[in-house]
Structure 1
Amino acid sequence: MKILDWYILKRYLFTFLMMLLLFIPIGITVNLAEKIGKILEREVPFAAVAQYYLDFTIYFANLLFPIFLFLSVIWFTSKLANNTEIVAFLSSGVSFWRFLRPYMIGATIVAAFALLLGLYLAPKASKGFNQFKYEYLKNNANVVQTSNIFRQVNDTDYIYVSNFNPATKVGSNFSLEHVVGNELKYKITANNIRYVEEDSVYRLSTYTKRKFQDNREVLETTRRKDTVFPFDVKDLTPEEYIAETLQYDELIDFIEKEKQRGSSNIGRYEVVKYKKWSLPVSVFILTIIAVAVSSKKRRGGMGVNLAFGISIAMIYVFFDKIFGVMAEQSSFNPIVAVWFPNIVFGILAIYLLYNAKR
């Protein structure tokens, strides 16, 4: 590798690392200032707080590192341009494509790190981050009720609850259908269902069981009935963030099981799956855009490049969030939603690179 490659690659990686080290403590400080009251009020152990902010660091870095990378590349490339170093490189006979090579090497290193982070490290951090938040920082009054839950819990049993409160573990309009083949064997309904944790049973009010056998219906009713079911209380309280806490192989298996159960959150889970691969690709796209934007010496100096870069970064985040929410909340194809920002900005990268090369 030539001196030029080492020079740019070191600045690429060093500036990116410094950007992370600069903004992560700011994020921790802002988060701690917001949460310190509840942490002190509930006397959260110091070890739990320390682990939370370690998980927060990984979670925060995984969430925002493409933006940090984009801004860091604009920053040091603009400095090269302002110091007329890029002009010197190109005047010595180095082509623009050759000048771009160390950036692509750096992007490959960062993309590999992003892939490792997304597939294995970030899920573990996300689990600890969310568990701490729900255990210590959430009030029971703020727990949102889940609604219209329909799930296949095994090969024969289907459950439905119109709404379920995770705090009180109480749901309404519960039904369970036991189906063998295409034949309904029995159906259980109740006005309310409550999980009694100390006895590990479900308490049903206005219980009705309709059993179908020998071409006749057997009806059983009672005011209250305590029983057990072949599902866990977590099946009534699907956590929206659960996909973020699973490593890639576990996530694939989880999505397949949720499809069989008829989960309404499949779009949300698949968005998480596809982002694990789209994020490393975005590293190359954003690097090319950053180099193309900041490799020219401008009259306004570095400030113009940074302003333009921040604008592009905000538009990228906007596209990413909008299409992600569309996939999560509707029937919009998750793979299209995740990859559309990369396609649009990939086209922009090619256009900007062509003009920068000229």
Structure 2
Amino acid sequence: MLTIIDKYLLKRYIATFVVMLVLFIPIGIVIDVAEKINKILASDVPFKAVAIYYLDFTVYFANLLFPIFLFLSVIWFTSKLANNTEIIAILSSGISFTRFLRPYLIGATLVSVFALIMGFFLVPKASKGFNDFRYTYLKNNAEIKETSNVFRQIGDDEFIYVSNFQSTAKIAYNFVLEKFDKEKLVYKITAGRLKYNEKDSTYTMYNYNKRTVGEFNDIIETQVKKDTVFNFDLEDLTPVIYIAETLTLPELNKFIDKEQARGNGNINTYLVVLYKKYSLPVTAFILTLIAVSVSSMKRRGGMGVNLAIGIVLAFVYVFFDKIFATLAEKSSIPPLVAVWLPNVVFGILALYLLRNAKR
């Protein structure tokens, strides 16, 4: 059962975190508007599309930086408690430092559960809207998001290749599909351009050519334009990071299983995104413990010293997190190890700082 002190600290924990989000998210929006306003006006973007974009931007931005906001908010209000000698009064009443941490851990649990749900279901949709808007309205022709030299195995004996794929226009260039029987080529389909039709989920091939390998003679079929249905999904041609960030948890698990079965060489990139969905909420506990340990002591420099220490630690954490995520994608380091290693290192640091704070 929560005591009056628990409720007081928990209220300060949640309120300060919310205030931090409310203060910094509008700043992020203002900076983004200042950067993109000329392109938005030049592209004559509808107001509704802009409003939806900044709603998605808010969710995307808050999820991306919520550990830093939480960390700084805990340092802020805990430093104020220390400077007002409230922590000394609480501990002098007979409450142990471990017991003092309980409302902080309850607050971290609430924030973690909320972040977990957001990361599983809401953030992917916001990420899709955020990226779609940017590449639909804000990129010029030279900057349109493309995937180059895409090669995919779409079945046990079927392979596709495109030289370029534009995700916003849903058009692929220099399309090739090869069908094999064991190691023998059965037929090969080529098209100068392949366009996906959203209305009926069909594909239109331009400059279509199909060569069926015969025992003595090959059969060649050509058409200027041909509509057809394929057994591969459009997501097979989309950018790796782009698609991983826009899938909900069930969709991402299903997608990873499919790509593993195909032997996709970029599978580590998908796994990094998946593991981050689980590791990010755990970060709330680690950073909360570090923040309390750093700021619970009254220092000569006051709150400014605590904030300076907190900002340095926060940037070190972000640096390690980004470095190991990149290593997992580009090297042989297992994604699970790379994603969780920063949390393990900073978890050990949190326990060390907590031990010193108790003294």
Does the CA-based 8 Å contact 1:177-1:184 persist in structure 2?
Answer: no
Does the CA-based 8 Å contact 1:152-1:260 persist in structure 2?
Answer: no
Note the residue ranges of structure 2 that are not aligned, 5 or more in a row: none
In 2: Cα distance, 1:193 partner to 1:139 partner: 23
Does the CA-based 8 Å contact 1:6-1:102 persist in structure 2?
Answer: yes
Partner of 2:118 in structure 1? 117
Note the residue ranges of structure 1 that are not aligned, 5 or more in a row: none
CA 1:232/1:72 → structure 2, altered by over 3 Å: closer, same or farther?
closer
Partner of 2:152 in structure 1? 151
Deviations 1:270-305 (A, max 9, x none): 111111110111100000000000011111111110
Matching of residue 74 in structure 1 with residue 75 in structure 2: yes
In 1: Cα distance, 2:284 partner to 2:33 partner: 30
Partner of 1:203 in structure 2? 206
Matching of residue 106 in structure 1 with residue 140 in structure 2: no
In 1: Cα distance, 2:3 partner to 2:170 partner: 65
Partner of 1:194 in structure 2? 193
TM-score by length of 1: 0.89
In 2: Cα distance, 1:139 partner to 1:117 partner: 32
Length, aligned pairs only? 351
In 2: Cα distance, 1:200 partner to 1:339 partner: 41
Residue 210 of structure 1 and its aligned partner are, at CA, apart by 5.4
Partner of 1:87 in structure 2? 88
CA 1:197/1:90 → structure 2, altered by over 3 Å: closer, same or farther?
closer
The residue identity in structure 1 corresponding to 2:57 is F
Q: CA RMSD in A?
A: 2.5
- Residue aligned with 2:51, SS: helix
- Residue aligned with 1:263, SS: coil
Partner of 1:51 in structure 2? 52
CA 1:200/1:92 → structure 2, altered by over 3 Å: closer, same or farther?
closer
Residue 154 of structure 1 and its aligned partner are, at CA, apart by 3.5
User: Percent identity of the aligned residues?
Assistant: 60
Residue 234 of structure 1 and its aligned partner are, at CA, apart by 5.0
- Residue aligned with 1:288, SS: helix
Residue 157 of structure 1 and its aligned partner are, at CA, apart by 1.6
- Residue aligned with 1:93, SS: coil
Residue 233 of structure 1 and its aligned partner are, at CA, apart by 5.5
CA 1:356/1:202 → structure 2, altered by over 3 Å: closer, same or farther?
same
TM-score by length of 2: 0.89
Matches within 5 A, 1:310-321: 310-321=311-322
In 2: Cα distance, 1:217 partner to 1:159 partner: 26
In 2: Cα distance, 1:170 partner to 1:348 partner: 49
Matches within 5 A, 1:254-293: 254-293=255-294
